[in-house]
Amino acid sequence: MISTKIPYYYQSVDFNKLVLDYEPPVEFMNGAMKWSREKIEHVQLQRLKETLEQASTIPFYQRLWKKHDFALSDVQTLADLSKIPMYTIDDIRDSIERKPPFGDYQSYHFEDGQHTPLRFYTSGGTTGAPRPTIYSAWDREVGAILSARTFYMHGIRPGDAVLNSWAYSTHNAAWIMDHGLWHWLGCTPITTSTGNVTPTEKQIEFAKIFGATSILATSDYLVHMAEVARKMGYDPKHDLQIKTLSAFGNKQPVQEAWGCPVYDSYAFHEVQYVAYECEAEDGLHIFEDAFLVEIVDFETGEVLPPGHRGNIVVTALYKTGTQQIRYNIQDISGSYEMKQCSCGSWHKKIDYFQGRSDTMVKLRGINIWPEALGKMILEDRRVNGEYFCYAERKTPEGKPARDELTIMVEAKSDSLDFGLLKHELEELLKRKNGVAVSVEIVKENELQNLTGHGVRAKLKRFEDRR
């Protein structure tokens, strides 16, 4: 007999428990967002212990913990967090190699779909091979609540139509934003996806015709959209109805192009929204009811005190499917001094995303990040902000081989003196970094083929040619 038992979605999540455990936007603003440190840490410890208990049945963690002699009983307080072994994307790759194609870090597989509804996404990754993640219905809904909280904080409100210009693909990003708007915010997503699904001109038309009040996209793409709108004869500041933008990355050029508030956030594939920018516009609040976030030294992995730059290490506290416990995601940030924010929240803050540490280039002992250079060149109004970096190993005559970094930048106008601009930018970068970086000036739009500007959601900014 064929099984007739179907795991219906509406029966698969205890929604009453869900909204008490992970409050939706309005309840969050009056609830968990205002929790005291004591309350935050109490909930975190309880959730951490439950998470560890669940992860102890997953082969990946069994192996990792055994290798580092870690036992569940080692965690009695939050201060014991650093006793849990950390892992990176290399361990995930190793896990996939051991047990292709899913790795042994998942708690569910497709056949479990006969008992509970599942979703499957892969990260193309800014670098390296795709990482598959299987999400339970609970994990999706919490992720969607965290997205909705972020958008609400950014001024998106029920009744809004929101253009979602992230790639609707095997990536999670567009989907979790979509579900947040739809399930937990009373907003209607306009599912344009990226420029190669709906050409940018058409996206602008959609925003115009249907009166979209916000757009979700990377900062790079939002700047591009404003340029295209202007070419179409629209003033992005007045001819569209955009009231706020939820971006990802460098906000300043977006603000200049659109003339409305722009807010940043931090999220990634496996765990979805981790941190959001509040009205204070001074760093990103971690959703501390759902995460433990640490900043660790690039080389030693030691947890760093506030004010230092290091890798972000994330422990998700809400997941029932694939767990992430002390996942060193190798994104660069820094933690803030613990104090109450002017928005009223005690939730810890981290700095804005500073780039990936695996694109870090060490020049004469100094760490340089392509993304940081991209921000520095914006000081010069003769360039349009587009850039692409590459690293090479060169052997100067009679000297040992050394690494060199070059940044290619687009000049705003062909009539500029490229030689002078190159010289002045090299001076600027040398002054800011304390080490020489070569600059190559190119004409406007010449970097498109390298970065994927206008086509890719996340632009390519770096190539290692060593």
User: Exposed, middle or buried by CB within 10 Å (0-12, 13-18, 19+), for 94?
Assistant: middle
Closest CA to 343 of 276, 295, 245: 276
CA distances from 427 to 74, 245, 370, 422, 442 (A): 52, 34, 17, 9, 18
Of these, 48, 156, 167, 278, which contacts Zn ion (CB under 5 A)? 278
Q: Which stretch binds Zn ion (CB under 5 A): 144-152, 209-217, 252-260, 338-346?
A: 338-346
Tell me the closest approach of the beta carbon of residue 224 to Zn ion, in angstroms: 30
Q: Which CB atom, from 153 or from 377, has the smaller least distance to Zn ion?
A: 153
153 lies in the binding site for Zn ion (CB under 5 A): no
Give the span between the Cα atoms of 241 and 371, in whole angstroms. 31
Site size for Zn ion, by CB under 5 A?
Answer: 5
Among 75, 197, 343, 455, binds Zn ion (CB under 5 A): 343
Structure tokens at 330: 């190798």
Task: State phi, psi for 186 to the nearest 5 degrees.
Answer: 70, 25
Which amino acid, residue 380? D
> Quick one: 72 or 280, whose CB is closer to Zn ion?
280
Which residue, 81 or 275, has its beta carbon nearer to Zn ion?
275
The yes or no reply on residue 341 touching Zn ion (CB under 5 A) is: yes
Stretch that binds Zn ion, among 241-249, 270-278, 371-379, 440-448 (CB under 5 A): 270-278
- Minimum CB separation of residue 93 from Zn ion in Å reads 36
Q: Which residues pair with 292 in a beta bridge?
A: 315
From the CB of 153, what's the least distance to Zn ion, in Å? 9
Q: Stretches 21-29, 209-217, 327-335, 345-353: which one binds Zn ion (CB under 5 A)?
A: 345-353
In the complex, least distance from residue 280 CB atom to Zn ion, rounded to whole angstroms? 4
Q: How far is the CB of 275 from Zn ion (least distance, A)?
A: 11
Interface with Zn ion by CB under 5 A: which range of 136-144, 274-282, 289-297, 356-364?
274-282
Distance CA 456, CA 453 (A): 6
Output the smallest distance, CB 460 to Zn ion, in A.
33
Which pair of structure tokens corresponds to residue 29? 């603003």
Site string for Zn ion, 164-183 (x = CB under 5 A): --------------------
Q: Using DSSP bridges, classify how beta strands 383-394 and 462-464 pair: parallel, antiparallel or unpaired.
A: parallel
The yes or no reply on residue 437 touching Zn ion (CB under 5 A) is no
**Residue 340 near residue 286, CB atoms below 8 Å:** no
Q: 314-331 as b/e, with b when 16 or more CB fall inside 10 Å?
A: bbbbbbbbbbbbbbbbbb
* DSSP structure class, residue 277: E
Token pair for 26: 């309005």
- Point out which residues pair with 214 in neighbouring strands: 162, 244
The span from the CA of 145 to the CA of 159, in Å, is: 17
Closer residue to Zn ion in complex, CB, 232/343: 343
- State in angstroms the smallest separation of the CB of 341 from Zn ion: 3
CA distance 72 to 440: 53
CB of 278 to Zn ion, least distance (A): 3
Stretch of 90-98, 139-147, 193-201, 335-343 lying at the interface with Zn ion (CB under 5 A): 335-343
Q: Which is nearer to Zn ion, 89 or 262 (CB)?
A: 262
CA distances from 212 to 156, 157, 442 (A): 11, 12, 35
**CB of 341 or CB of 409, closer to Zn ion:** 341
Q: Kindly state the smallest distance separating residue 350's Cβ from Zn ion, in Å.
A: 12
Q: By CB under 5 A, which span of 78-86, 278-286, 404-412, 419-427 interacts with Zn ion?
A: 278-286
Query: Would you say 274 and 294 are in contact if contact means Cβ atoms under 8 Å apart?
Result: no
CB 227 within 8 Å of CB 243 = no
- Among residues 263 and 318, whose Cβ is nearest to Zn ion? 263
* Closer residue to Zn ion (CB): 277 or 410: 277
- Whichever of 278 and 361 has its CB closer to Zn ion, that residue is 278
Q: How many H helices and E strands in the chain?
A: 14, 20
Exposure string over 413-435, b if 16+ CB within 10 A, otherwise e: eeeeebeebbeebeebbeeebeb
Nearer to Zn ion, 280 or 401 (CB): 280
Nearer to Zn ion by C-beta: 336 or 369?
A: 336
Do the beta carbons of residue 278 and residue 151 sit within 8 Å?
no
Residues 279-298 within binding reach of Zn ion (CB under 5 A):
280
Interface residues toward Zn ion, by CB under 5 A: 278, 280, 341, 343, 345
